[in-house]
Amino acid sequence: MKGKEGIINFMVIVALLGYIICSLLLFKEAFELKGQENPKTNPALMYLASALTGLVGGIVAAAFGVKTDSDGNDANALNTSGSAATSSRKLKIQRVGEFAMGANEEKLKEKLGNLYAWSYILVGVASIVIWAVLSTDATQSITTNATTFIGMMLAIVSAFFKD
């Protein structure tokens, strides 16, 4: 199929933009619904945001995931020695882009992988802050985003410090 790479690139970018836009709309909705007796959330926005959060979060989790090889050794452990550490992290970020593209676009994959990771981190941190500010008035979507991000962050940080 001609133009396949361009179509895939477009879909990857649209998915990321959709995730960011839906997250921002959820944040706005959470503040608008604050203090209401029976808050009515937008179910379409919740489902769309959940699907896109699952996509982006899954891609980021796979990129930063820790796997063990057949000997039980840490195959993807975060290496902390010089250029090997940089190379290991760069490879993991490139893996994020490999979910959507062929192997010949390494620089683009790396850039998109970084965008996906940073977007997920920023939305996750914003969810935590909004959850803390709104407390019991936070919507279920905000609470779920915050707790899911905390769980993934704990797994990534603990893998970094793993012996």
On the question of pLDDT at 132 being above 90, the answer is yes
pLDDT score at 82: 44
DSSP structure string for 114-128: HHHHHHHHHHHHHHH
* Domain boundary assignment for the chain: 4-160
* Predicted local distance difference test score (pLDDT) of residue 45: 92
Position with higher pLDDT, 80 vs 127:
127
Asked if pLDDT for residue 116 goes beyond 80, the answer is yes
Q: Cα–Cα distance between 97 and 111 in angstroms, integer?
A: 8
Burial 39-48 (b: 16+ CB within 10 A, else e): eeeeeeebeb
E runs forming strands in 40-112: none
pLDDT score for 93? 52
pLDDT digits (tens, 9 = 90+) for 62-72: 888 744 344 44
pTM, two decimals, is 0.73
Asked if 76 and 66 touch (Cβ cutoff 8 Å), the reply is yes
